[in-house]
Structure 1
Amino acid sequence: MFFKNFLFHMGRYTMMLGTSFSRPEKSYMYYKETMRQMNDIGIGSLVIVGLISIFIGAVTAVQFLYQLDGTLVPVYYIGYIIRDSTIIELAPTITCLVLAGKVGSNMAAEIGGMRQKEHIDAMEIMGVNTAAYLIMPKVIAALVVIPMLVAIAAFVSVIGGYLAAVPTGLMSDAEYIQGVRAFFEPFNVIMMFVKALVFAFLLTTISCYQGYYVRGGSIELGQASTNAVVFSDIMILLADYIIAVLLTG
Structure 2
Amino acid sequence: MRLMLVEDDDHVAAALTAVLSRHGFAVTHCRSGAEALQAMLPDDRAPFDVVLLDLGLPDTDGFEVCGRIRKVSTTPVIMVTARSDVRSRIHGLNLGADDYVVKPYDTGELLARIHAVARRTTPGTPDPADPVPGSDVLRLGAVTVELTTRQVNVGGAAVPLTRKEFDLLALLAGRPGVVFRREQIISEVWRTSWEGTGRTLEVHVASLRAKLRTPALIETVRGVGYRLVPPAAA
Q: TM-score range, shorter-chain basis?
A: under 0.3
TM-score (norm 2): 0.27
Q: Which has the higher Rg, Structure 1 or Structure 2?
A: 1
Higher normalized strand content (fraction of residues):
2
Higher relative contact order (CA 8 A, sep 6+): 1
